[in-house]
Amino acid sequence: MKAKLERKDCLYPMLTTLVGANINGKPNYAPIAFVGIMDFTNISAAINHKHYTNTGIKESKTFSVNIPSLEMVKIVDYCGLVSGRDVDKSKLFKTFYGILETAPMIEECPINMECRLVQVLNFPRHDVFIGEVVEAYGDDQYLTEGTVDLSKVQPILFSFHNKDYWKLDTSFAKAWDIGKQL
């Protein structure tokens, strides 16, 4: 029997990322799970207006989306407990830059995407930053035959239902394939 849910946002679990931006000349990182895929080269990250990160993205017109591994969960969560206004988060990670030169990325994260800002959608409480991924980076240890291996990445999945982090289990079927059995 279907019942109406109190929480209307049910698109969980969602991938937990660390969104990076330079603000006042320093890298800053915010844990963001309000992310999305627009197409093969554009992604979105929705960040509450009150966050420190937003100014930096708007100024530099660039940002990064970094995918942390579950062993990084404490520091990822910590980044959400403190604001870049009060704590210098540039000291928490090793930062590297790519071709955009102004999108700080986190060396310790298995996967990094550097994005050129293409559009900002203004929602009542959130800026939705849409970015073109101009380059993506991965560490050898998280790849299998040159392709990202999620069983090695061990991403952190987030749910707002109970405000918790979830692990990814195994791959169990091939897409555009298992349906052929019907």
- Give the integer Cα–Cα distance in Å for 70 and 154: 6
| CA end-to-end distance (rounded Å), the chain | 27
Q: 86 or 180, CB closer to a second copy?
A: 180
Nearest to a second copy of 86, 176 (CB atom):
176
Residue 29 β-bridge partners: 20
Work out the number of other CB atoms within 10 angstroms of the CB of residue 53: 25
**In the bound complex, what is the minimum distance in angstroms from residue 83's beta carbon to a second copy?**
13
We find the least distance from the C-beta atom of residue 60 to a second copy, in angstroms, to be 20
Min dist CB 129 to a second copy, Å, is 11
The distance of closest approach from Cβ of residue 32 to a second copy in the complex, given in angstroms and rounded to an integer, is: 10
Pairing of strands 35-37, 42-48: antiparallel
CA dihedral 16, 21, 27, 33 (to 10 degrees): -10
Cα(129)–Cα(64) distance, integer angstroms: 11
Both tokens of residue 109? 């994260």
Name which of 21 and 33 has its Cβ closer to a second copy.
33
Q: Which is nearer to a second copy, 23 or 45 (CB)?
A: 45
